[in-house]
Amino acid sequence: MHCRIRAFRATTDQEACLKFIEGHRHILETVGVNQVTSSKDEWMYNPASFAIIVESLDKQKVYGGARINVANGITPLPIEEATGYMDNKIYNMVKTLSQNGTGELCGSWNSREASGLGIGAFFITRAGVAIAEQIGISSIWALCAPYTVKFSERVGCIVVDRLGNHGTFYYPKQDLLATAVLLEDTEKLNFADPYEAEKIRSLRLQPKQFCREQVPYRTREIDIEWDLEIKDASKNEFKLKL
């Protein structure tokens, strides 16, 4: 497979956002989930939301995606809406981290066509951490399904065991478990796998590049055109004062 992974501020490409929303909603419906906080459509009109999509080279198909929603002091992060009523400590934790810029990698999905290629959980997570420097956030939250926790840990996330039941919540419904994780230092990546940290630094230095990537835990390879330059990003836009 040959695809492009592209990042952009959501408000600058509404057509791509609509394709993202349609694909995400379809995947959720196939597993019996009709609504989650990260699947609401309002994010496409939010200047503090940055989309990451996996698309065909002609931009006609979207195979998967995710978003980074940045804390802007106005719109709660999806993790706050999803877990705050179960554990209100999340609010102060997000507020404190927002002084140096914080956001959430959310809404990750991939189509059945791209199943088993690491798109929804692995390469998109790498892209999310790579663009953190451009958008000026020093930490990233995520709510992970059990099988994706290991991918988050590879980029340096740790389980936030101060929240919920040692970091876990029943979400988005009672028979599904989600784990809250946090990458506390997007710059140094001290807890990241060394190989993964090097890949992220490479994408920061050269956000547009081509790589033949090894699919994690598989013998397969995938050709990726990385396009992670966000032209209208500012490193100081989302550093909030308490």
pLDDT in tens, 81-127: 999 999 999 999 999 999 999 999 999 998 888 777 778 788 999 99
Which structure tokens are listed for 38?
């990260």
What would the pLDDT profile of 27-82 be if each residue is shown by its tens digit?
Answer: 877 766 665 555 568 899 999 999 999 999 999 999 999 999 999 999 999 999 99
Give alpha helix (H) positions in 31-144. Answer: 78-83, 89-97, 124-130, 132-135
Question: Would you tell me how many other CB atoms lie within 10 Å of the CB of residue 161?
Answer: 12
Higher pLDDT, 117 or 129: 129
- The three-point CA angle 64-206-227 to 5° equals 25
Among left, alpha and beta (phi > 0; psi -120 to 50; other), residue 228 is alpha
189-203 CB burial, b ≥16 within 10 A, e <16: beebeeebbebbeeb
CB contact at 8 A, 222 and 1: yes
Residue 135 and residue 234: Cα distance in Å, rounded? Answer: 6
Residue range 2-227 in CATH 3.40.630.30: yes
CB contact at 8 A, 198 and 206: no
| Domain coordinates in residue numbering, the chain | 2-227
Residue 233 and residue 147: Cα distance in Å, rounded? Answer: 32
Q: Three-class SS of residue 19? A: helix
* Mean pLDDT of all residues in 144-166: 93
pLDDT score at 36 = 57
